[in-house]
Structure 1
């Protein structure tokens, strides 16, 4: 005879409970990637070049912003006279 935990509950007990067949996941090894020395050197040089280009763009943007502020200040003083 089945006695429910909560006799006043209108919800019937679950008919099926899930039990995992394999509780531990299968550990798969990652594939090994081999990079030769020339490819590594090219990757490092490419990173250095891209970093230098990014720094150049940043310095140029700052220089243009400073020049714009200076020109705006000079034009404002010129219009006041």
Structure 2
């Protein structure tokens, strides 16, 4: 029931090759052609661009930190609210059982 079904192979497995009686002589690989390096633009950081990059990174860290702190605060407020509601409901049920 839970056994996997494999599709049939595209090519049949190779038949046993005939045993070789002689070993072929080793062939030296052909030398790889030398390809000239492509001309790529070089990124140079000036002091002002490095400062801008650091400021941008710092801003990202501050924004992500603010979002995470606000999410943590929302979870905390929700937890406290649920705890207060639970205490109030417990007191109401206790009062109902006493018959007030």
What TM-score range do you get, normalising by the shorter chain?
0.5 to 0.7
Query: How many equivalent residue pairs?
Result: 70
Correspondent of 1:42 among 31, 38, 52: 52
Structure 1 moving runs of 4+ over 2 Å: 25-32
Instruction: Give the structure 2 partner of residue 73 of structure 1.
Output: 83
TM-score by length of 1: 0.63
Provide the alpha-carbon RMSD of the alignment.
Answer: 3.3
Structure 1 residue runs of 5 or longer lacking an equivalent are 1-7, 12-16
Q: Which has the higher contact order (CA 8 A, sep 6+)?
A: 1
| Alpha-carbon offset, residue 9 of structure 1 | 1.1
Instruction: Give the structure 1 partner of residue 62 of structure 2.
Output: 52
Partner Cα distance (1:69, 1:60) in 2: 14
TM-score by length of 2: 0.53
Partner Cα distance (1:75, 1:27) in 2: 74
Instruction: Give the structure 2 partner of residue 9 of structure 1.
Output: 18
